[in-house]
Amino acid sequence: MPRPKKTAAKAVAPAEKEIVADVVSETVAEDTTAAEKKPAARKSSVKKETAKKEAVSKKADIESKVVIQANGSEATAEDLVKKAVEAADVKTVKRVDVYVRPEINKVYYVINGDVLGEFDLF
């Protein structure tokens, strides 16, 4: 029996194998590069979270002063809190809520959620 002739497809097959091998090696290289980038992305997200936490802590360190002015007089928030604690005569203070109504010259307060009272603003 005579041997079959070689076809062009069989002759091209080795070249196709090289192309496929090149594509596979490029894909593997891309996967390796992507794998290397993933930990870097995680590190940058950790850095971003740390930066956000630092920004929040910096915001907590902001100095502030609240001054209420009405009818030519003024009072600071700290003074009003001190007056509320003194007026309530409470020994342990955990929380003080102060409500100012300058139009009627009154300050209302709630200490520890159960002690209520009021005093004149000025």
Helix (H/G/I), strand (E/B), else coil: 89: coil
Domain boundaries, the chain: 8-62, 67-120
pTM summary value? 0.50
Q: What is the pLDDT of residues 26-77, one digit of tens each?
A: 555 555 555 555 555 555 555 666 666 666 666 667 889 999 998 899 999 9
For residues 119 and 52, which has the higher predicted lDDT (pLDDT)? 119
64: which 2 tokens? 């502030």
